[in-house]
């Protein structure tokens, strides 16, 4: 039997969350956190609804996963997120010592790589998973807004 | 009459919050957000109690102030915080477009300046206000821990 728990598999779950954000009029970013092939947090951007710049999908996912695990460190966990994290989220991921980050689309303007923020040295990063699907959803959102 | 609403005045309020964190066994960082000389948020670090790396004093202050104001932008606001913000908090402050940040002690290891994170270009920064008092509280905390 083929192994179904691929990066694509979990990124699709993050994309489903991004679509929920899209339907709410939020910038469509979704995230899931996975440990041992089990999704322990699923979140989407809620900055508009909550009037809160800190309500990025990743920030909520970190809080939610830590609640689930009963501890603040996310060692052994993987974050799947449809857009490259910003420096705020990279900073939170740094503190969490998360093991792996997989993101879909790059953010050339406000992504942590462009802005210069640092991840924890132990964190592995994979980019470009379902990149087109993730980027297309963002493009559709901003096209609607104009 | 001398103007009482100085940076020292509001940093003392942030220090009072840091002392509450100290008493709870949290790394003693406190913050207040001020608009028109009125304190609209007062918070302290709660990362241990909440098992949540995102529960820095500044993050809670941003959320709290935005709730108070009914909008996510903190233009016209000043954050007073006893320790230099980390890259996560700097990233959140960037998104908030806060007008002014006043911090007490520098964080040579994990402060946003060392880590390379960026604030919003419109944000004014003042450092070293009640620096010794802010730093002494941190030193006392870590001395107790060892």
**CATH number (domain holding residue A83):** 3.40.140.10
Q: Would residue B82 count as lying in a domain?
A: yes
- For the segment B62-82, the average pLDDT, to the nearest whole number, is 97
Which pLDDT score, from 0 to 100, does residue A3 have?
86
Is this complex's ipTM strictly greater than 0.90? yes
- Chain B residue with the nearest C-alpha to that of A46: B72
Q: Would residue B144 count as lying in a domain?
A: no
Q: Would residue A2 count as lying in a domain?
A: no
Residues of B in contact with A62 (CB under 8 A): 52-54
- Chain B residue with the nearest C-alpha to that of A54: B92
With b meaning 16 or more CB within 10 Å and e meaning fewer, what string describes A4-21? eeebeebbbebbebbebb
Which pLDDT score, from 0 to 100, does residue B22 have?
97
Q: Does A94 touch chain B (CB under 8 A)?
A: yes
Report d(CA A86, CA B109) in Å as an integer. 21
A53 has pLDDT over 70: yes
Catalytic residues of B: 58
Q: Do B118 and A118 touch (CB under 8 A)?
A: no
How many domains does chain A divide into?
1
Q: Can you spell out the DSSP letters for chain B?
A: ------HHHHHHHHHHHHHHHHHTTS---EEEEEETTEEEEEEE--TTTTT-TT--HHHHHHHHHHHHHTSS--TT-EEEEEE---HHHHHHHHHHT-SEEEEEE--TTTSHHHHT----TT-EEEE-TTHHHHHHHHHHHHHHH-
Q: Which residues of A are annotated as a binding site for Zn(2+)?
A: 56, 86, 89
Average pLDDT, chain A: 96
Q: Would residue B116 count as lying in a domain?
A: yes
Q: Would residue B38 count as lying in a domain?
A: yes
Which pLDDT score, from 0 to 100, does residue B145 have?
77
Which pLDDT score, from 0 to 100, does residue B144 have?
78
3-state secondary structure chain A: CCCCCCHHHHHHHHHHHHHHHHHCCCCCCEEEEEECCEEEEEEECCHHHHCCCCCCHHHHHHHHHHHHHCCCCCCCCEEEEEECCCHHHHHHHHHHCCCEEEEEECCCCCCHHHHCCCCCCCCEEEECCCHHHHHHHHHHHHHHHC
B3 has pLDDT over 90: no
- For the segment B20-28, the average pLDDT, to the nearest whole number, is 97
Which pLDDT score, from 0 to 100, does residue A1 have?
52
A8 close to A130: Cβ distance less than 8 angstroms? yes
A104 has pLDDT over 90: yes
Give the C-alpha distances (Å, rounded to integers) separating B99 from A12, A35, B106, B116, B122: 39, 40, 20, 20, 7
Q: Do B88 and A91 touch (CB under 8 A)?
A: yes
Which pLDDT score, from 0 to 100, does residue A38 have?
97
Question: In the structure, what pLDDT confidence band is assigned to residue A2 with cuts at 50, 70 and 90?
Answer: low
Q: Give me A120's structure tokens.
A: 């924890």
Q: Would residue A82 count as lying in a domain?
A: yes
Question: In the structure, what pLDDT confidence band is assigned to residue A122 with cuts at 50, 70 and 90?
Answer: very high
Residues of A in contact with B117 (CB under 8 A): 87, 91, 115-117
- Tokens 């598999």 — which residue? A9
A79 close to A102: Cβ distance less than 8 angstroms? yes
B2 has pLDDT over 90: no
A88 has pLDDT over 70: yes
A88-92, B17-21, B113-117: least confidently modelled range? B113-117
Question: In the structure, what pLDDT confidence band is assigned to residue A82 with cuts at 50, 70 and 90?
Answer: very high
Question: In the structure, what pLDDT confidence band is assigned to residue A145 with cuts at 50, 70 and 90?
Answer: confident
Contacts of B125 (CB under 8 A, 6+ apart): B100, B101, B102, B103, B119
- Among the partner residues A66, A89, A92, nearest to B51 by beta-carbon distance: A66
B7 close to B80: Cβ distance less than 8 angstroms? yes
A41 has pLDDT over 60: yes
Please tell me the distance in Å from A22's CA to the nearest CA on chain B.
Answer: 19
Q: Which of B82, B9, B12, B79 is nearest to B45 (CA)?
A: B82
Q: Which residues of A are annotated as a binding site?
A: 56, 86, 89
Q: Does A63 touch chain B (CB under 8 A)?
A: yes
Q: Does B49 touch chain A (CB under 8 A)?
A: no
Q: Would residue B106 count as lying in a domain?
A: yes
Q: Would residue B146 count as lying in a domain?
A: no
- For the segment B49-74, the average pLDDT, to the nearest whole number, is 97
Are β-strands A124-127 and B30-35 bridged in parallel, bridged antiparallel, or unpaired?
Answer: unpaired
- Tokens 């969350």 — which residue? A17
| Domain interval for residue A83 | 7-138
Question: In the structure, what pLDDT confidence band is assigned to residue A24 with cuts at 50, 70 and 90?
Answer: very high
Which pLDDT score, from 0 to 100, does residue A65 have?
98
pTM over the 0.90 mark: yes
Residues of B in contact with A96 (CB under 8 A): 53
């Amino acid at each position: 039997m083929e192994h179904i728990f691929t990066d694509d598999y979990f990124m699709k779950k993050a994309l489903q969350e991004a679509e929920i954000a899209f339907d709410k009029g939020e910038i469509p970013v979704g995230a899931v956190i996975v440990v041992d092939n089990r999704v322990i947090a699923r979140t989407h951007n809620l900055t508009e609804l909550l009037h809160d710049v800190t309500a990025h999908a990743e920030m909520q996912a970190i809080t939610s996963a830590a609640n689930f695990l009963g501890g603040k460190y996310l060692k052994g966990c993987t974050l799947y997120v449809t857009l490259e994290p910003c420096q705020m989220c990279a900073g939170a991921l740094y503190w969490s010592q998360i093991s792996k980050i997989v993101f879909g689309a790059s953010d050339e303007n406000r992504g942590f790589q462009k802005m210069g923020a640092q991840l924890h040295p132990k964190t592995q990063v994979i980019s470009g998973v379902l990149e087109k699907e993730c980027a297309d959803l963002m493009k559709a959102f901003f096209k609607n807004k104009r």
